[in-house]
Amino acid sequence: MSEYAVKISGLWYSPNGGDSILKGIDLTIKRGSCTALIGPSGSGKTTLFKMIGRLIKPNKGYISLHGLHSDLKKEKLGYIPQQLGLVRSKTALENVLIGAHSRIGFIDTILGVFPTKEVDNAMKCLEMVNLLHKANEKVYHLSGGERQRVAISRALMQGPDIILADEFVSNLDIATAREIMEMMIKVKGKDITLIISTHDISLARDFSETTVILKNGIKIDEISSSELDNNKIKEVFT
Ligand SMILES: Nc1ncnc2c1ncn2[C@@H]1O[C@H](COP(=O)(O)OP(=O)(O)OP(=O)(O)O)[C@@H](O)[C@H]1O
Ligand SMILES: [Mg+2]
């Protein structure tokens, strides 16, 4: 088994043949690690996430996941988009069950027909993020932090090897953001590889092992997150 969760080589992307958004990205991410992606707005973080999540295709270069050339099953990638992608009119539990759609089938997921085993699984995922007591609450009644937990549960429900979390916890107050980050690190354990993008440097420094810095679509640096000091931050954001 490959020691690496993600290996990216010479990745270029220009939608519709226009200007390049990603310019020759090389990146290797170790299995079970937590990596933070930082960079100014528009630097290409979400684009890179979408490409790892195979929502868009590169013009040049390749991405291999777990040593496989694009063969890691899609459900093994838990993608938590910036806007979380929850169905607000459904309950927390129903949203988590959507994470099992590849096992349940699309039609049954839409109809809300879920095997008892999957409902039990979904309850366990909610319990992992301390949200079991809100299982039957509609998402529009939940707080921002609780919604974030539902999105994490839904990703866990997929049984992922890799979780991609774009602008993770960015809409939350600092205390809640840190609390959720701590929980995320705990539930991911050694088996899940976590990649987050964030504008919060202290979150990157305190919770990830490695920080990758993007600027104008170029990977300008890759450092141990403990090295994220004021000089580095100035270099990135000015
Ligand atoms: N399909 C597309 N067509 C044209 N331009 C695009 C497309 N997708 C992204 N872009 C542009 O590519 C650049 C990078 O976008 P991206 O969303 O990856 O940035 P980001 O680093 O995630 O920014 P933020 O921190 O604001 O979320 C932006 O200038 C954006 O407008
Ligand atoms: Mg983005």
Q: Does residue 71 contact residue 130 with C-beta atoms inside 8 Å?
A: no
* Secondary structure element (H or E) that encloses residue 183, with its range: helix 174-188
Distance CA 166, CA 177 (A): 14
Whole-number Å distance, alpha carbon 93 to ligand 1 midpoint, is 32
Ligand nearest to the CA of 237: 1
- Out of 3.40.50.300, 1.25.40.10, 3.40.50.261, 1.10.490.10, select the CATH number for domain 32-54+74-237: 3.40.50.300
Rg over CA atoms, the chain: 18
Whole-number Å distance, alpha carbon 234 to ligand 2 midpoint, is 20
Whole-number Å distance, alpha carbon 118 to ligand 2 midpoint, is 32
Angle subtended at Cα 237 by Cα 231 and Cα 238, rounded to the nearest 5 degrees = 85
What distances in angstroms separate CA 187 from CA 136, 147, 175, one per listed residue?
22, 17, 19
The alpha carbon of 174 is separated from its chain's Cα centroid by a whole number of angstroms, namely 19
What distances in angstroms separate CA 91 from CA 97, 112, 151, 173, one per listed residue?
10, 11, 12, 24
Burial label for 23, CB within 10 Å (0-12, 13-18, 19+), is middle
Q: Mutate which of 14, 47, 80, 197 to test ligand 1's pocket (most atoms within 8 Å of Cβ)?
A: 47
Q: Where are the chain's structural domains?
A: 32-54+74-237
Whole-number Å distance, alpha carbon 133 to ligand 2 midpoint, is 32
What distances in angstroms separate CA 191 from CA 33, 54, 78, 88, 161, one per listed residue?
9, 21, 13, 30, 7
Ligand 1 neighbour 43 (Cβ under 6 A): yes
DSSP per residue, 54-103: TSS--SEEEEEETTEES-S-GGGEEEE-TTTT--TTSBHHHHHHHTTHHH
Task: Please identify which residue in the block is written with the tokens 């519709």.
Answer: 16
pLDDT confidence of residue 75: 59
pLDDT tens digits in sequence order for the chain, 238 residues long: 678 899 999 999 999 888 999 999 999 999 999 999 999 999 999 999 999 988 899 999 989 888 665 555 665 889 998 889 999 999 999 999 998 888 887 777 777 778 899 999 999 999 999 999 999 999 999 999 999 999 999 999 999 999 999 998 888 889 989 999 999 999 998 889 999 999 899 999 999 999 999 999 999 999 999 999 888 888 888 8
